[in-house]
Amino acid sequence: MTTALWIAGAYLLGSIPTGLLLGKLYGIDVRSEGSGNIGATNLYRTVGRKVGIWTLLGDCLKGFLPVMLAWQLGLSEPLQAAVGLAAFCGHVFSIFLLFKGGKGVATALGVYLALAPLAVAGALLVFILLVAVWRYISLGSIVAAAVMPLIIFFRPHSNELLIATALISVIVIAKHHANIRRLLAGTESKFKA
> How many domains is the chain built from?
1
Amino acid sitting at position 29: D
- Specify the pLDDT at position 106: 97
**pLDDT mean over 136-146:** 97
If DSSP codes are grouped into helix, strand and coil, which group holds residue 193?
A: coil
Residue 19 pLDDT = 97
Structural domain contains residue 190: no
Residue 24: how many other CB atoms lie within 10 Å:
12
Q: How far apart are CA 167 and CA 4, in angstroms?
A: 19
Alpha-helical runs (H) found in 154-192: 159-175, 177-185
Structural domain for 108, as ranges: 2-185
Please give the pLDDT value at position 1: 60
Residue 135's φ and ψ, nearest 5 degrees, are 65, 25
Alpha-carbon dihedral angle through residues 141, 146, 152, 157, given to the nearest 10 degrees: 110
